[in-house]
Amino acid sequence: MTQQSWENGLREVMTGTAGAARVAAPPTDTILRKGRSSLRWRNGLTGSGVLGVVAAAVMVGTSLGVGSAGGSASPAAADAVVTVGPASAKTKVVLYEDYRCPVCKEFNASLDSVLQQDAAAGKIQIEYRPTDLIDRNDTVRGTGSVMAGNAVLCAAEHGAFYAYRDAVYAHQPVEAADSFQSSAQLIDIARAVPGLDTPAFEKCVDDQPYAAGIKHNFDTAINTVHCPGVPCVDAGGKQWSGPVVPGEDLAATVNTWLSQIIASD
């Protein structure tokens, strides 16, 4: 079985369009938890690897909050997205992530600096779209993916997107311990970001105005974009799908891939 045929079968199972026997054993060491949940390729990137960087020319929503690559981005109204980089950039990058997802944390540590540099240089425009993948995991469940994603978007309203996002990833609990479901925990993390912990920020964390948008992001990623999981990246309607090779410099590999797309746009 080829990687592509296996991925196609997996997508059918995840979207409910295939029988239970549709997907055979994966061609790599892959973990698929019950339901729509964490899926990982464990053959690189400090032992865990990156999952599902899959294509789609999708821009969900109509209004985008545009900020600089330095972290002053603001989320779009009524849409759970932070857009960074100039609107004039020819290459649009969409990143679906979940702050409870361990692979997303590793992906961010390896690649986000590359994305920020390209956005600062005007080469790309990035949409960061939080999802609730781990919340939907039949084994662990919870609400922390939505809560953390909402809090990160609240931080973006106050010009602290990257600083708070990095702090949330740094405090990521194990999947079975959903400490992000606590507003108090997310507000406590904000105290490490100068000027962020304000009454307005705390109210935004408690009220969860972006909860519906975060859930919609996941549905779009799986059912429209056909991501097999998160993290999932689209760049200009083209895909980078690995595989991740043990010992490979993932940042250099993806940067080369992005450079080729930018040059062709």
Domain boundaries defined on the chain: 53-255
CB 158 within 8 A of CB 194: no
Q: pLDDT tens-digit profile of 81-134?
A: 999 999 999 899 999 999 999 988 988 888 888 899 989 999 999 999 999 999
Does residue 67 or residue 84 have the better pLDDT?
A: 84
Q: Quick: pLDDT tens for 228-262.
A: 788 888 886 776 655 556 677 777 777 787 888 88
Tokens of 243: 């595989």
Is CATH 3.40.190.10 the right assignment for the domain spanning 53-255?
no
Q: Give the torsion sign (CA, 230, 16, 55, 236).
A: negative
Check: CB of residue 244 under 8 Å from CB of residue 45.
Answer: yes
pTM: 0.72
